[in-house]
Structure 1
């Protein structure tokens, strides 16, 4: 959890959006405004370590995606364009005409969609552990199994442990007991219909991002886990080369870099925010 005395964390606010109310926490004291959206099967708490390291440099707007954390979600599939519209609703609610927009995995897809559809609202784009080739036309068997599990097994420990083994290096959750409890607790308490609707929308639908990266005009930072088996480093590095104004930062760990490598992620984001074109 974030220490409120160090970061001035506010209580979550429920923001009306096209995908239902989204819970958003504001944390930090700095001038840079950074909106972050998490991965599937996680909530905004995956950014707590990053916030605690950068509280003096940025103010973070931490979103719980629909069907995750404190966001009720919707009982239907949706597009990443709708998720981007929901992210813009969050920005509007907090009076953010422009901000750095980013996220992990699902959050990266949402942030990229915002950058593609509303580049005037985006000071910089941060893609962490982001799938580049997810396609509704050619879903992988692995992704179909994950979506099935989210609907029928999401509350079972065996499924949560399986997700954890894909997302984190061995021992990461054991060495972060408060986050381990939050990770398992959130999934155990989730509504399986709304959780699975979000998971399906992310990994079984959508337009592959890789082919559209060259259209992203805003300054961009792409962070990838060196041991991420879901989206391996080589593919992430080649994707970064397609960005008009991008930089690539490999960091330790698997799929949830802000949890596994918060110091490295903070250093990368700090350098990115210091660029003349951002912030």
Structure 2
């Protein structure tokens, strides 16, 4: 019997999912698009960075599909997720991630993401630690503070609203996100990045960007409350969130591991094999169970 006192049973009663399936899931932030990849016993739920969608994980999940089942999310206003025409809090995005898990009947999983995705996953871990087996933070802002945004961050938020369809703006974002050789080596990733931004609704995507930049909460002082084993991956040449700050933040974790990799801000694109090896070890090593 499903009762209000038995939420686990209620979650497990939801519709099953299958590898290769695309699904739209209702949340407080509108319909969230997810893609399920792999059929391994471990469940890994990943949220992307702003200005990207689930395709940044294509190279990562390739080769790991037998070890884990990946639930790849498009954030509100990104990819196939329509989003909402208002700003929202980090807590709301964490609730949306947990709603995706509920809808798929996943009680407990490894959660993570790149940049914004890491912020969302960390917030979900703080909000519902019993739902998180492990945490993966890739290129994640540790000190972003919506109360005191940097001038450059404000310009990015404005550009997301008024210049999204201009190639010069998209190229500027790409230069700060990726190594030039990464997009040359991986033309599919480059095309996917530009295509997603050119199709996006500027009002809804910029609402999401403003939510991250202007309503974000510093993560660093709250890391010590995270008890789940945590892997922190940082790009050696990440100009947005430099290596030293990432390494010092990782020291605050109760059970953390810091791993620098080649590249800039989107490590699964810049260093797919390094990131894949790190995550495979993190998911399988007994010391992280």
Length-normalised TM-score, structure 2: 0.92
Q: Distance in 2 between matches of 1:271 and 1:31?
A: 15
Q: Distance in 2 between matches of 1:53 and 1:209?
A: 31
Q: Distance in 1 between matches of 2:29 and 2:288?
A: 29
For residues 54-81 of structure 1, the C-alpha deviation after alignment (integer angstroms, 9 at most, x for no partner) is 1111110000000000000000000010
Larger radius of gyration: 2
Match of 1:185 in 2: 195
Match for 1:198 among 208, 219, 231?
A: 208
Partner SS, residue 86 of structure 1: helix
**1:55-134 superposed matches below 5 A:** 55-134=65-144
State whether residues 19 and 69 of structure 2, in contact with CA within 8 Å, keep that contact through their aligned partners in structure 1.
no
How far does residue 52 in structure 1 lie from its aligned partner after superposition?
Answer: 0.4
Root-mean-square deviation (Å): 1.1
For residues 73-123 of structure 1, the C-alpha deviation after alignment (integer angstroms, 9 at most, x for no partner) is 000000010000000000001110000000000000000001101000000
Q: Does residue 176 of structure 1 match 2:167?
A: no
State whether residues 77 and 201 of structure 1, in contact with CA within 8 Å, keep that contact through their aligned partners in structure 2.
yes
How far does residue 46 in structure 1 lie from its aligned partner after superposition?
Answer: 0.3
Q: Distance in 2 between matches of 1:255 and 1:114?
A: 22
Match of 2:160 in 1: 150
Q: Distance in 2 between matches of 1:156 and 1:213?
A: 38
Match for 2:57 among 47, 62, 80?
A: 47
Q: Distance in 1 between matches of 2:235 and 2:134?
A: 20
Q: Which contiguous aligned blocks of 4+ residues in structure 1 show a shift greater than 2 angstroms?
A: 275-279
Match of 2:251 in 1: 241
Where does the alignment leave 5 or more consecutive residues of structure 1 unmatched?
A: 1-7
How far does residue 170 in structure 1 lie from its aligned partner after superposition?
Answer: 1.4
Partner SS, residue 16 of structure 1: strand
Q: Distance in 1 between matches of 2:63 and 2:262?
A: 17
For residues 5-43 of structure 1, the C-alpha deviation after alignment (integer angstroms, 9 at most, x for no partner) is xxx852320000111000000001211100000000000
Partner SS, residue 217 of structure 1: coil
Match of 1:159 in 2: 169
Length-normalised TM-score, structure 1: 0.95
How far does residue 206 in structure 1 lie from its aligned partner after superposition?
Answer: 2.0
Q: Distance in 1 between matches of 2:146 and 2:276?
A: 33
Q: Distance in 2 between matches of 1:55 and 1:259?
A: 18
Match of 2:280 in 1: 270
Q: Distance in 2 between matches of 1:91 and 1:29?
A: 16
State whether residues 123 and 278 of structure 1, in contact with CA within 8 Å, keep that contact through their aligned partners in structure 2.
no
State whether residues 267 and 275 of structure 2, in contact with CA within 8 Å, keep that contact through their aligned partners in structure 1.
yes
Partner SS, residue 171 of structure 1: helix
What is the aligned residue count? Answer: 272
Q: Distance in 1 between matches of 2:100 and 2:31?
A: 10
State whether residues 36 and 63 of structure 1, in contact with CA within 8 Å, keep that contact through their aligned partners in structure 2.
yes
